[in-house]
Structure 1
Amino acid sequence: MENRCKNCLSEALCDLIALQDLISNYQSKYYGQYLVEIIGGDTIPLLLITNKCAPLRLLDKTMQLETMFFRIESIDKECCCVTVTLLRAYDYEGHHTNSIVDVVRLERTTTERTIELCGIVAIQPLSPDLLKRNIIIEPKW
């Protein structure tokens, strides 16, 4: 059963990678890379849910970043591993946040991590709109 779950997760992750590749590499004869402009980027953000039913959180000490938001970069089906890029989350005031309810924008970082899929039980894709939102703070008065 565990191997079947790993295969399902691998297939689902491969689908997400294929969608990201389609978005970033699609070139229309008449409209060029209009698909990237419509979507606003080449990333489908996601959460990885652990076997404890909680989002996986990773830490980058050099960037002082803890996050549970990721972009898939590659998958190794042989080793059941996935390489992800960490996404930095911001709230309405432009501060970093780790609370999913406060997130209004995600920003791609340069930090990549490789994760074994044996501890992952589910994938939750998020809206790509989170990557293109601008945070506008209006004065109260």
Structure 2
Amino acid sequence: MGCRKHDETAGSCVCDAVAAIKNAQDQVDNNGGNCRNKCFDSLLSPAGNNNGLDTVPFLLQTKTGEYFSSVGAVGRNDCFQTTFFRVEKIDEDNCCATLSLLRPDSELEFNKCCVDPTSLCEVEELERTRYCIEVDLDCFCAIQCLDPNLVGDIDHHCK
């Protein structure tokens, strides 16, 4: 699994991290916004109150070190490319996940296949969308959690 070889009992660090993120998001949803958990407490609830935050945005890196990206709203005027994701569902047994695409407020710069990492620094806000992809989390070597304060409300004009 993942980048390095694991024995039969070891898991994938990316899969484990995404599962923990999903658990943290679910705790916010299930506790009416009063989330207190160990791993992501500082992300979802830096001051003990999550202020309605229900998303831990993250970036994924492939085994070759590039940021993973996907495209949303294909065939529409508001088509966008993103490297920012939110976990919606996870199958821990198979290490597969449904990720929703988070739309950045600024256009990311891509050089042929890959995002220019410096363009990620220009992003000040992410908008939730209803565009989703299915991924095999074993295909990634790194995950970087971002500040939940970057994420605004869901994009209601998406279908």
TM-score by length of 2: 0.68
- Spell out structure 1 runs of 4+ moving beyond 4 A: 3-6, 34-37
Instruction: Note the residue ranges of structure 2 that are not aligned, 5 or more in a row.
Output: 36-43, 109-118, 154-159
Matches for 1:19-58 after TM superposition, within 5 Å: 19-27=24-32, 33=33, 38-58=50-70
Q: Of 72, 87, 96, which aligns to 1:81?
A: 96
Is it true that 1:59 corresponds to 2:71 in the alignment? yes
* C-alpha separation in 2, matches of 1:108 and 1:132: 7
The structure where helix makes up a greater share of residues is 1
Identical aligned residues as a percent = 31
3-state SS of paired residue (1:14)? helix
Q: Which has the larger radius of gyration?
A: 1
State the Cα deviation string for residues 42-76 of structure 1 (Å, max 9, x = none).
11000011111121010121351100000011112
The Cα of 1:132 is off from its aligned counterpart by 4.1
- In structure 1, distance between residues paired with 2:5 and 2:79: 34
What's the counterpart of residue 101 of structure 1? 121
Counterpart residue type for residue 102 of structure 1: E
Secondary structure of the residue aligned to 1:19 is helix
How far apart in 1 are the matches of 2:93 and 2:50?
35
TM, length-normalised to structure 1: 0.75
**Alpha-carbon separation, structure 2, partners of 1:38 and 1:80:** 28
The amino acid of 1:86's aligned partner reads L
- Cα RMSD over matched residues? 2.4
